[in-house]
Chain A
Amino acid sequence: METDYLTAGPVSQMLISKLVEKMSHKTDSGGHSIFLGQVRADEIGGKKVKAIEYSAYAELVSIEAEKIKKTILSEFSDVRSIDIIHSTGVVNAGEISLLVFVSAGHRLQSMQACGKTVELIKEKLPVWKKEIFEDDSHIWK
């Protein structure tokens, strides 16, 4: 499943570096804050998580992500752009499942807005995760 906000599998290093490259043309920005969410190999009841399988309501993800961007842009006047990319499908422990990239004129708002964006994503994006253990059993989070 690929949209502006969703990518199939882990967020690749290429995706991250493409965004950094894109920013070199945005010379009105003085600071970028990047948040990378990584799949953690939690141990639950003696079993270790080997991967997370994400599913999403793609249409609603786009609608809610646009709303999040509007909220952030209205709250932080120095923010120039916000990119959000979330994984769908299987992401192994140690791989990246969420990328938030916020650019602003100056560092303070880029950092504050990045943190707020991540919190809103957790609260508002219709994404679900199934934690898969090493023995292939799973739980829903």
Chain B
Amino acid sequence: MGVKVLFFGVLAEVSGTSIKHYNDVKTINDLKLKIQDDFPEIVHYNFRISFNSEITDKNLILKKGDEIALMPPFAGG
């Protein structure tokens, strides 16, 4: 088991799943490319990344067990 990716909001609908595991991904950018390969429509949506429950814009190095979330703009309230 590699890293766990959570899809939220419209991205769960676009990908047809709310959780997917990815193996052999070294960085967040690497992971994003793999996700785009699996779900090409995702490039049309804006989203932010959360790395182990912390929002980040950085291209961090991933290790086994990390949790990455793809989060469209928030719409609470």
- List residues of B (41-77) whose CB comes within 8 Å of A's CBs: 50, 53-55, 69, 71-72, 74-77
Within the assembled complex, what's the spacing in Å between the Cα atoms of A118 and B77? Answer: 8
> Given the interface contacts A55-B9, A126-B8, A126-B50, does A141 sit within 8 Å of B75 by beta carbon?
yes
Closest chain A residue to B67, Cβ basis: A59
Closest chain B residue to A86, Cβ basis: B76
Q: How large is the interface on A (under 10, 10 to 19, 20 to 34, 35 or more residues)?
A: 20 to 34
Report whether B76 and A121 are in contact in the complex, using a CB–CB cutoff of 8 Å. Answer: yes
Say yes or no: is B37 at the interface (Cβ < 8 Å to chain A). Answer: no
Contact code string A41-54 (vs B, CB < 8 Å = 1, else 0): 00000000000001
Least Cβ–Cβ distance between A82 and chain B, in angstroms: 16
Our count of residue pairs bridging A and B at CB distance below 8 angstroms stands at 59
Report whether B76 and A125 are in contact in the complex, using a CB–CB cutoff of 8 Å. Answer: yes
| Chain A residues, CB < 8 A from B77 | 37, 86, 97-98, 118, 121-122, 127
Say yes or no: is A128 at the interface (Cβ < 8 Å to chain B). Answer: yes
Least Cβ–Cβ distance between B44 and chain A, in angstroms: 12
A/B interface sample: 5 pairs, CB < 8 A: A55-B12, A57-B6, A127-B74, A129-B76, A140-B10
Measured CB to CB, the residues of A under 8 A from B are: 37, 54-57, 59-60, 63, 86, 97-98, 118, 121-130, 140-141
